[in-house]
Structure 1
Amino acid sequence: MNLRTLLCAIFLALPWSAIAQDTFTVSTIERKPFSFKTETGWAGFSIDLLAEVGARMGWEYNYVEHDTFVSLLDSVRGLQADMAAANISITSAREMDMDFSQPIFDAGLIVLTPIGGGANIFSILFSRDLLLWVGGAILLLLGAGALISRFEGRRDHVEDHDYDDGKIGSVGEGIWWAVNVVTQAGFEISSPKTRSGRLLAFSLILTGLFAVSAFVAQITASLTVSELSSQVDGYNDLHGKRVGTTGGSTSAQFLDEVRIAYIGYPTLKEMFGALEAGELDAVVHDAPILAYYAAHDGNGRFELAGRIFKPEKYGIAMIAGHRAKEELNQTILQLREEGTYEQLVVKWFGADY
């Protein structure tokens, strides 16, 4: 056997992947901590996982960014990309027109709410109902002050304000008298001497007691109702609240199924921006995404509410029947067996996830 024949035999015996490097187009999107841009390129759990696969298979990737999840998946359906990597949930509907790798992450949906999103004393005090109460009380005091000054003004005015013999000689003194009656049930300026004045004082005492008690009860009830209505312990508490998620996502599909009204945002950035601006009471999305946001970009202003619901599994989406699917799955299993997969989980989510 000459040298040429020997080299040909070696060439034919080697696997194609060992002598030729495949380059795949991978669609992705900003989804911290699974995929996001850095100064040196794309990073994240899913990106690192593909890098580990590529290192073993001799693959390279051309990453193409998408603004929405819908366009991300459509790029695979339309054969514009070999794969899509981010936090992509494996669903039966998606499996109909694309393939998925082995599950790469166990997740689910969860609710994120502002910390301390309960009752706000200032919003309660300046509510419409309480402002009506305050307005009514002011009119009552003005009216009572005007009437008492008219009833008692017929008596000679005593300049030194002898409270036993003095009179209420002006509307201002009458209003001050009415305030004392309502708040303290006392007559610090003068005790009414006329029959009409005393009848007015008696009526004002009864009305004042009722008004003050009702005012306090209204504040207490408003605070209690607001506190109860603001508590969110899961998605069942989201009815009637301002809820946000991303359009075309599995979280949007779930909210449709349970008939919870929501606002669908094209991107996570817009959804989180609305939450930070106080335009939303809660958001529903993938638990790892919201947990990472609450711990990092949320600056301690938000918290996860309740437990994970609707468990999901993430995978790498691929063109249906793609030739690299089997090799991708085998390598992912290899990464799990050798412990590399666990190292990536600890790197991005911590040892307790």
Structure 2
Amino acid sequence: MDEALLRSLIPGVIAVLVRRGADFAAAEDAVQDALVEALRVRSAGPSSGELPGEPVRDPKGWLITVAWRRFLDATRADAARRRREDRLDEEPAPGPAAAVDDTLQLYFLCAHPSLTPSSAVALTLRAVGGLTTRQIAQAYLVPEATMAQRISRAKRTVSGVRLGRPGDVATVLRVLYLVFNEGYSGDVDLAAEAIRLTRQLAARVDHPEAAGLLALMLLHHARRAARTAPDGSLVPLAEQDRGRWDTGAIAEGVTILQTALARDRLGEFQAQAAIAALHADAPTAGETDWVQIVEWYDELTRLTGNPVVRLNRAVAVGEADGPRAGLAALAELDASLPRHSAVAAYLHERDGDLARAARLYAEAAHKAHDLAERDHLTRQAARLNARLSR
């Protein structure tokens, strides 16, 4: 019985308990207890009849049954919940679990509008993604105790929310996008799962941004194999082997995007997908339509006002109109923005100021939180310093 398989069943088991009457926090605790018991049974062999059956035969059904018993035990131990206990359904007989995918509904629960985006993503990664509190804390660069408190507060917030209650689609889209991005950088690969769930959501709701997000994910995911070298180092977009890009995913993403854009209800995910599509459409980096990309960044800036979007726009301006035009656009932005130093380094290098670019690459490396990005920026600084020392 594989631990990864057990962890992949967590969202569905939590959803079953919530539908039966458990609040979210209690359901999550009970399922974690059941997971621990399953791992104990795996290492020690079948139990002595105290628990129903063996988890290896029907892992999901076994987890549901054990988690439900753990929930009932906890409920009975709390005198203040005795009235609630009377309303609980009878414990179902052990047996094969229904093949129902409740993961998307659980996303709606975790993306409750009263939660901050960071809390919603942390709760989603914990309950749906199966990450440990320590893994999530490492991803957010905060102490484990701080993240544990954040997740506990989030669970309390959604504890009274029923699974069938309509959720906020825009919030779910935002969380799915953030989880997709976390899927590339964390210990657990969630990118493909985020695409699967976004595909489900786009098929269920009349929301053009759901299609826009799906197109964006597919276009980004299509370049995944080319993003890193064999030694794990980052490969910039301009240097990627485009023969390794997934042309099927690109074609699907472009088709979905064109359908969404035809509805004339532009949103930020559609605009981002349009930029990704222009990159994907270029046979070589030198043939990229940077003028049109700048136009899409103008739309995206209008839609979001996001300073990071304006930072990326400065790069596009530098490619379309020359590095000095890009530096002029960059000068309008706050120098404390993430990646500001890296963008400045790139534009100064293109403008021929190698000494300044080397200093800025080193500064950007010092500020970088991601190890792969820090290594890439350090290599860039070393490359320019080597050229200057000749």
Bin for the TM-score computed over the shorter chain? under 0.3
TM-score (norm 2): 0.19
Give the structure, 1 or 2, with the largest relative contact order (CA under 8 Å, sep 6 or more). 1
**By percentage of residues, which structure has more helix?**
2
Structure showing greater Rg: 1
**By percentage of residues, which structure has more strand?**
1
